[in-house]
Amino acid sequence: MEDKHNCKGCSASSNSLFKTLNQEETIFLENQKFCKHYKKGDILYKEGSRIQGVFCLNKGVLKIYKTGSDGKEQIVAFGRNGDITGYRSVLSNEPACTTAEVIQDAEICHIPANVIIHLVKTNGEFALSLLQLTCRELNQANSFIKDIAQKTVRERLAEALLMLDETFGVTEEGHLNIALTREELANIVGTATESVIRLLSEFKTDKIITMEGKKITLSDKAYLKKLAKSFF
């Protein structure tokens, strides 16, 4: 279903990228983009495909992942309200290096590549914000590589749980405000599903977390931070 959203009323309006647009540029963007409702499991783009524009997430959750030679997913990031994805492939004019999949029903706007390129060329603040976003994501990727090399699976799982808490917050009941399968958790940590199941059980026994199906509550964040050697 295609729809139109007013950029000023969108959850992405507070994104520093779009804060830099003046009224004329905002109207130009609104007239060029198109928005759709997506269901859980829908794929926005696949690794190796050519992306024709940037995706701006108004509502919902995406998982961004790479696929190994064995077909196993490695989740490298999540997209949530106000985030954009696909811009690196647009700027570099190269195939997508990741796959983006909807994991919570979403409303997403597609901004054509020529619109983004035009704004980069004509709005220096927009270009700088995009460059800063790229640098932040590169820093996150470097941190992930370091963690894989230097931290144990137990430490990486603790860090992943804290990251989910920081990124998505908690429900009124105190559960992480995102429900992931054990396989998806393993795909964040970079390990086998069986290892995550075993470690979650150990965390539960040690009263570090509580679990109810996919619902996880962090009962002892201080211990998780100490274990993860994290600054969350």
Mean pLDDT of 28-53: 94
Is the pLDDT confidence value at 34 over 60? yes
- What lies within 8 Å, CB to CB, of 191 at 6+ separation is 153, 156, 157
Whether 9 has a pLDDT exceeding 80, the answer reads no
Give all domains of the chain, ordered by start, each with its CATH number: 2-147 (2.60.120.10), 152-228 (1.10.10.10)
Q: Name the one residue in this structure whose structure tokens are 């954009």.
A: 84
At 230, the pLDDT band (50, 70, 90 cuts) reads: low
Per-residue pLDDT band for 32 (boundaries 50, 70, 90) equals very high
Side-chain-side CA neighbours of residue 202 (13 Å): 12
Between 3 and 131, the more confident residue is: 131
Tell me, what's the pLDDT at 3? 60
Q: Partners of 57 in the beta sheet?
A: 108
pLDDT at residue number 14: 64
pLDDT score recorded for residue 124: 94
Please give the average per-residue pLDDT across 10-23, as a whole number.
75
| Highest averaged pLDDT of the listed ranges 22-26, 29-33, 207-211 | 207-211
| Cα distances (Å, whole numbers) of residue 172 to 86, 102, 175, 176 | 33, 24, 8, 10
Percent of the chain with pLDDT over 70: 92
Query: What's the confidence (pLDDT) of residue 2?
Result: 55
Model confidence, pTM: 0.85
Q: What is the DSSP string of the chain?
A: -EE---GGGSGGGGSHHHHT--HHHHHHHHHH-EEEEE-TT-EEE-TTSPP-EEEEEEEEEEEEEEE-TTS-EEEEEEE-TT-EESHHHHHHT---SSEEEEEEEEEEEEEEHHHHHHHHHH-HHHHHHHHHHHHHHHHHHHHHHHHHHHS-HHHHHHHHHHHHHHHH-B-TTS-BSS---HHHHHHHHTS-HHHHHHHHHHHHHTTSEEEETTEEEES-HHHHHHHHT---
pLDDT digits (tens, 9 = 90+) for 134-182: 998 888 888 877 777 788 999 999 999 999 999 999 999 999 999 999 9
Tokens 């901004």 belong to which residue? Answer: 111
Q: Is the pLDDT of residue 106 over 80?
A: yes
Give pLDDT, residue 149.
75
